[in-house]
Chain A
Amino acid sequence: MSQGFSEDNDMSRGSENTDDEPPKWLSFRSLLVFSMFLRVFLIVYGEWQDANMEVRYTDVDYIVFSDAASLMASGESPYKRTTYRYSPLLALLLTPNSFFHRSFGKFLFSASDLLVGWFIHTILKERKVPEKICTYSVMVWLFNPFTFTIGTRGNCEPIVCAMVLWIIISLMRGNLSQAALWYGLVVHFRVYPIIYALPIILVLDSQVFRSGQKPPLEDWNTGQAKTPTSNTEKKTFLFSLFTALKSLFSRERIMFALVSGGVFLACNAVSFYFYGHEFLHEALLYHLTRTDPRHNFSIYFYHIYLHYERQFSALEKLISFLPQFTVQFALVSCFWQDLVFCIFLQTVAFVAFNKVITAQYFVWFYCLLPLILPWSRMKLKWEGLLCIILWIGAQTHWLLWGYMLEFKGLNVFLQLWVAGLLFLAANTFVLVKIIQRHRFSPLFRRYESSPPKHVKKLH
C-alpha cells in the first residue's frame, strides 16, 4: 500500500519541488531495464530447474498452451489438448514455441508484463501524478514477486492486463474506436472483462468526448489543492447515474458497443468456423458455467462438492449469483465516474465472490492497484500493513489446510471451507478500507458550454 501519497507529500499544483523526482538510479527507465534482466534470468533459471529438478518451475498451464500451439501448428485443433480452455488466438501466438524455442511464450508473457509497467507509468503521467509517486506505483507491479513469476512461469494473464490498460489509455486519449476494438478482443480472449462494460459505457459521456478532441482528464493535483478547480459533477451519485442513463444511447456509446460487440462476434465466428462446438464449449461456455468441486479459495467449493451428486436448480444458481450481482451493481453505481477505481473494485469483488478462485486471478487486479494508489489516503503504517497482513495471512491460512488435505491426505474439508470464509472476510475488509480511504477523482472532466482552452486537439 502507499505511504498516504496524497497527504504526506507537498504536491501543490505546478510544484517544481525536486523532492518530487526520485533518485536517478530509481528512474523509470532503470527500473524497467532491471525488471527486464530479472525476468530473463528467471526464464533461463526456469529452464534449468525444469531439466534438473523434480519440481518444475514452469506452470502446468504453459505446457497446455504449448501443446495446443503445437497441435495448431500441425494443422489440428488446439482443443484436442485436454484442459486447453482459451481462445485459439493464444495458441496462435505461441506457435513459435514449436519451431523457434519452447520458451518463446514465456518471453512474450514477460514482455507483456513489462508493457503493463510501461502503461501504468503512462496512465499516471497523463494524469500528472508526480514522478516519484509514479515510480513507486510502478514498482508495486514490477517488483511484486507474484507478478514477475507469473509471466516467467508461462502464465498468459500479463497479456490480458496489458490489453485492459491499453483500453484505459485509449479512452484517456479519446481513441474510442481503438478502445472498442481492444475491448472486444480482450472479452473474446478472457471473458471476465465483460464486467467493465457498464462503467465504460457510462463514462462515454458526450459532455466529455467530443469528436476530434482529447477528453479533458481530471488530474492528480486537483484534489490535492483542496480547492474546487474542476468541473467535477457535484451532484449525488444517483443523480449522476440518472443523468448518464438518460443519454444512454449517445453516438459515442452506440459506436463503442457496435465496434466492441462486432469485434467480439467476429473473433468468435472465426474461431467457431475453424474449431466448431469444441471452441464454444471449451473457450466460452466452460468459463460461464464453471463450478469446480475441488478445493480452491472460493467459499463455494465445499457447498458445490456436497451437492455435486445432484444438479443445482435454476433458482439455486440464481440465488447464489445474487451477492455477486449486487456488489457489481453497487460498485458501478457509486464509482463509475472514477473509472479506474471502479474497475479495480469490480475486479477484486468479482474474484472474491466467484465460484472458483485460483491464485492467477489475483493478477487481474494487481495490474490496476498501482493506478489507484496515488489517490489513496491509506498510510502504510499501520493501516496499509494491516490490510496486507490480513490478506496474505488469510491466504496462508487457507494454504496450510490445503496442504493438509492434498499432501497429507487428512479430511480437513470443513477447516478448509472455514479458511475460505476467512479469506472472503479479509477481502471484504480490505475492499471496504480501500473504499473508505480513496480520494474520489473522476477520470474525465466534463466540458463547460464551450471547450476549455487547455484541451489539446488530436492530430
Chain B
Amino acid sequence: MATQLRRSLLTLIFICWAISSTSSDQVGTSYGDSDQIRSLCISDRFIMESYFTTTHTSLDDSEFRNFLLHQQCSSDKIPSEHDPNIVPATSLIQHRNVTGEGSHRNLLTSIKLLPLYLEFQLQELVILERLPLGVFADPFELQSIQQRRVFSDVSVFGDTNLELPSFRSNRSVVEIHVEVSPRDYENGEISLKLPLHARYQPLDDSGYSRVEFGEPDLFLCSSHVQNHQHEQRRCLVLSIGRSKTETRSVFWDIPAGIRGHTEYVSALTFAAAVLSAISILVASVLSSKVESCKNSKQS
C-alpha cells in the first residue's frame, strides 16, 4: 500500500517536471513514440551482436527497428507487472555536440536518467550510436578507452574498415555500456565522449560535406553474466533515437575534394611525373657518358 502510494506520488512529480522543463537542449524522447517497443530480451553480450549475426550485413534504420520488435520479451518477462501506464524509467538527452577540430573529433552526449521505479537488476545503460555515413570509430582506440575504465564495455559493429572513403563504405554502430548506480540517478548527468574520425567524403563543389548526427538509442539492461552465455538479458527501452535531432542539429562539416579540380590536377600530376622522369633519365645518361669519356682518356 505504502509502496503504491509512493509510486503514484513519483509519477505525479514526473509529469509536473516534464511540463515545466524549459531546457533548450532537451532533445530526448520517451519510449512512448518508439513503435511500442518496451523491452528486449537478448542472448548476446551486445544488442548489435544479435542484429549482425542474423541476415543483416549493413545497417538500415527501418530494418533495425523491425529487429528490435522481434527481440521483445514475451509478456511474462515484462519488467513491470504493475500498471502499464506507469513509466518505469526514462532518460533525457541533455546535451549533444561534436567538439574538436579537423578529422578527429569527439561526440559529446549528456544523458539524464530519471528513476520512477527502479529495477535494481537493470544496472547497465546501453547506448547505441548509429553513426552516419562519413565518420567512423576506431575499435582499437575504444578498446584502450575501455581499459581505462571510461566505459564498462564497448564495441563497434558494421563497417569497421578504417581506410575506405565514405562512398565505398557502409555505416557502423558503436554500442557503449555504462554501469549505472542509484547515485547516477541522484547526481544527474551521465556524460559520454566518443572519439570519431572522418572518412574521405564524396566530391562536393562547395569543398565541404556535411554529416548529420541523429539521436542514440538508449536501453537499461541487466548486467551480462560472463559464464551464462545462453541466459537472456533483459533490456528496458528508454529511447529509440530519431535520425535527426528534434531541436538543434548536430553536424560535422568535413573537407571534400572539389570536382572542378579533376582535369587540371590529373594533367599536371602526369606532367610533373613525366618531367621528373625525363630529368633523371637525362642526368643518368649524361653521367654515364661522362664516366665513359673519363675512362677512355685515362686509358
- Which A residues contact B (CB, under 8 angstroms)? 63, 67, 82-83, 226-228, 232, 234-237, 292-294, 299-300, 302-303, 305-309, 319-320, 322-324, 326-327, 330-331, 333-335, 345, 349, 352-353, 405-414, 417, 421, 424-425, 427-428, 431-432, 435-436, 438, 440
Contact = CB atoms under 8 A, between A and B. Distances in A.
B255 interface: yes
B57 interface: no
Interface string B246-274: 00000001111111011001101110111
B295 interface: yes
A424 B278 CA distance: 13
Given A234-B292, A292-B163, A428-B279, A323 B102 contact: no
18 contacts: A82-B161, A232-B295, A292-B163, A302-B257, A305-B200, A307-B262, A308-B165, A308-B168, A309-B202, A323-B274, A334-B284, A405-B103, A407-B102, A409-B253, A410-B255, A421-B272, A431-B280, A440-B288
Contact of A234 (B207, B287, B299): B299
A432 B298 contact: no
B67 interface: no
Contacts of B262: 306-307
A448 to B, nearest CB: 15
Contacts of B295: 228, 232, 234
Given A299-B269, A308-B165, A323-B276, A411 B207 contact: yes
A327 B255 contact: no
Contacts of A82: 160-162
B273 A302 contact: no
Contacts of B277: 322-324, 326-327, 353
A327 B289 CA distance: 17
Nearest to B272: A421
Given A335-B288, A353-B276, A409 B163 contact: no
B22 interface: no
A335 B265 contact: no
A345 B280 CA distance: 10
Contact of A432 (B167, B270, B274, B280): B280
Given A308-B168, A413-B257, A432-B280, A236 B288 contact: yes
Interface of B: 101-104, 140, 160-163, 165, 167-168, 200, 202-203, 207-208, 253-259, 261-262, 265-266, 268-270, 272-274, 276-277, 279-281, 283-285, 287-289, 291-292, 295-296, 298-299
Given A234-B292, A306-B257, A293 B266 contact: no
Contacts of B279: 428, 432
Contacts of B165: 293, 305, 308
A435 B283 contact: yes
A431 B276 CA distance: 10
B205 to A, nearest CB: 11
Most-contacted residue by chain B among A407, A411, A435 (CB, 10 A): A411
A123 B24 CA distance: 73
Contacts of A427: 276
Nearest to B267: A303
Contact of B256 (A324, A349, A411, A417): A411
Contact of B280 (A300, A319, A349, A408): A349
Contacts of B287: 334, 435-436, 438, 440
Nearest to A294: B200
Contacts of A293: 165, 200
A434 to B, nearest CB: 9
B273 A414 contact: no
Contact of B167 (A235, A236, A307, A309): A309
Given A82-B160, A320-B270, A335-B288, A428 B280 contact: yes
B259 to A, nearest CB: 7
